[in-house]
């Protein structure tokens, strides 16, 4: 199945994996984005993800559809979490299964790279040693061109 | 992503060449929301005014609103759009600060 979701609940990676896979598939790629404990040398205590949830859902559905087309598979699953996350939490999970590994890696990479440039999601980092800040982002690039 | 809407067919009205004013809802996120001190607002515009007119109206409110950018990435009805995109009654316009998902 091609599946995508925006959620405020913890991401269950086994559940995401269970949405892909078929008897003809010899490869499954799983990518996880994780909140890390530092950024630019500053210790981070946590992260708050804010999103334009309705639009993010639509964009993620488009992105997974495009990835499936690239990989010639219908086994692509992606979920992005919003809300307050702690160091070590999974912020995004992407699973793709294909007959051979190249397409699975390529499609999973496509999904995360498109999330980085298109998904209307923002993050505010909380630091141990100073006030929280919105992180610098990427000027969004719509499928097929620049926006604004 | 043309975002084009079908042309609106209007009966000719000599006294109303610009059409009735329309209300659009504007959504603000992240740093933009912090600047404005609001996560949504309603803007009244001439019919078929563009997104650029919305930005100008918001900035003209002064205070934190004046710190919003002159040009920004935008979505209209949850689709990426342009400063030149024309708006109609009930449209939902979102200012999209640089994105940082993943």
**Cross-chain Cβ contact B100/A121 below 8 Å:** yes
Domain at A126, CATH number? 3.90.1170.40
Q: Is residue A138 part of a domain?
A: no
Model pTM?
0.89
How much is the pLDDT for A142? 81
Around A37, how many Cα atoms within 13 Å sit in the side-chain half-sphere?
1
On whether residue A141 sits in a domain, the answer given is: no
State the average pLDDT for chain B: 88
Q: How many CB atoms sit inside 10 A of residue B84's CB? A: 8
The answer, yes or no, to whether residue B16 has pLDDT greater than 70, is no
Q: Which residues of A touch B1 (CB under 8 A)?
A: 142-145
Answer whether B94 sits within 8 Å of A140, measured CB to CB.
no
User: Quick one: fold of B22-96?
Assistant: Ubiquitin-like (UB roll) (3.10.20)
Question: Could you give the C-alpha distances from B17 to B11, B54, B79, B92, in angstroms and in order?
Answer: 10, 21, 29, 24
Residue A106's pLDDT is 98
Task: For residue B73, give the nearest of A58, A91, A140 by CB distance.
Answer: A140
Report which of residues A115 and B70 the model is more confident about. A115
Test B99 with A50 for CB contact under 8 angstroms.
no
8 Å CB contact of B101 and A116: yes
Positive or negative torsion for Cα A115, B27, A4, A79: positive
pLDDT score of B8: 54
Domain membership flag for residue A136: no
Q: Which residue range is the domain that position A106 belongs to?
A: 2-130
Q: What is the pLDDT along chain A (148 residues), one digit of tens a residue?
A: 999 999 999 999 999 999 999 999 999 999 999 999 998 888 998 999 999 999 999 999 999 999 999 999 999 999 999 999 999 999 999 999 999 999 999 999 999 999 999 999 999 999 888 888 898 899 998 876 667 7
3-class secondary structure, B9: coil
| Number of folded domains that form chain A | 1
Check CB contact of B52 with chain A, cutoff 8 Å: no
Contacts of B81 (CB under 8 A, 6+ apart): A147, B3, B51, B74, B75
In a domain, A126, yes or no: yes
Give just the sign of the alpha carbon dihedral B33, B36, B38, B40.
Answer: negative
CA distances (Å), origin A55, targets A112, B76, B100: 17, 10, 15
Q: Flag whether residue B34 sits within 8 Å of chain A, measured between CB atoms.
A: yes
B14-36: string of b/e by CB count within 10 Å (b at 16+)? eeeeeeeebebebbbbbbbbbbb
Q: A121 vs B99: CB contact, 8 Å cut-off?
A: yes
**Predicted pLDDT of residue B3:** 45
pLDDT of residue A144: 66
Which pLDDT value is given to residue B72? Answer: 92
Q: Is residue A41 part of a domain?
A: yes
Q: Is residue A33 situated within a structural domain?
A: yes
Assigned domain for A148 exists: no
Query: Which chain A residues contact residue B82 at CB under 8 A?
Result: 147-148
Centroid of chain to Cα B31: 17
- DSSP letter at A24? T
B96 touches chain A (CB under 8 A): yes
Give the span between the Cα atoms of A52 and A131, in whole angstroms: 24
Mean pLDDT confidence for B46-63: 95
Q: How sure is the predictor about B55, in pLDDT bands with cuts at 50, 70 and 90?
A: very high
Q: What residues in B contact A135, CB-CB < 8 Å?
A: 100
Residue B12 has pLDDT above 70, yes or no: no
């Amino acid at each position: 199945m091609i599946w995508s979701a925006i959620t405020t609940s913890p991401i269950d990676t086994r559940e995401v994996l269970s949405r892909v896979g078929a008897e003809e598939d010899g490869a499954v790629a799983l990518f996880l984005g994780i909140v890390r404990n530092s950024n630019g040398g500053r210790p981070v205590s946590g992260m708050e993800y804010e999103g334009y949830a309705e639009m993010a859902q639509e964009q993620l559905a488009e992105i997974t559809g495009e990835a499936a087309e690239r990989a010639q598979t219908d086994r692509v699953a992606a979920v992005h979490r919003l809300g307050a996350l702690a160091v070590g939490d999974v912020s995004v999970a992407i699973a793709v299964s294909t007959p051979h590994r190249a397409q699975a890696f390529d499609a999973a990479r496509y999904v995360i790279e498109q999330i980085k440039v298109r998904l209307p999601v923002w993050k505010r980092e909380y630091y141990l040693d100073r006030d929280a800040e919105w992180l610098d982002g990427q000027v969004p690039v719509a499928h097929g061109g620049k926006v604004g | 992503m043309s975002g084009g809407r079908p042309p609106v067919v209007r009966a000719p009205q000599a006294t109303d060449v610009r059409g009735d004013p329309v209300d659009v809802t504007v959504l603000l996120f992240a740093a933009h929301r912090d600047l404005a001190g609001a996560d949504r607002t309603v803007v009244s515009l001439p019919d078929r005014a563009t997104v650029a007119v919305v930005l100008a109206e918001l900035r003209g409110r002064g205070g934190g609103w004046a710190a919003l950018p002159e040009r920004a990435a935008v979505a209209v009805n949850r689709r990426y759009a342009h400063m030149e995109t024309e708006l109609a009654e009930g449209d939902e316009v979102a200012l999209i600060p640089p994105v940082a998902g993943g």
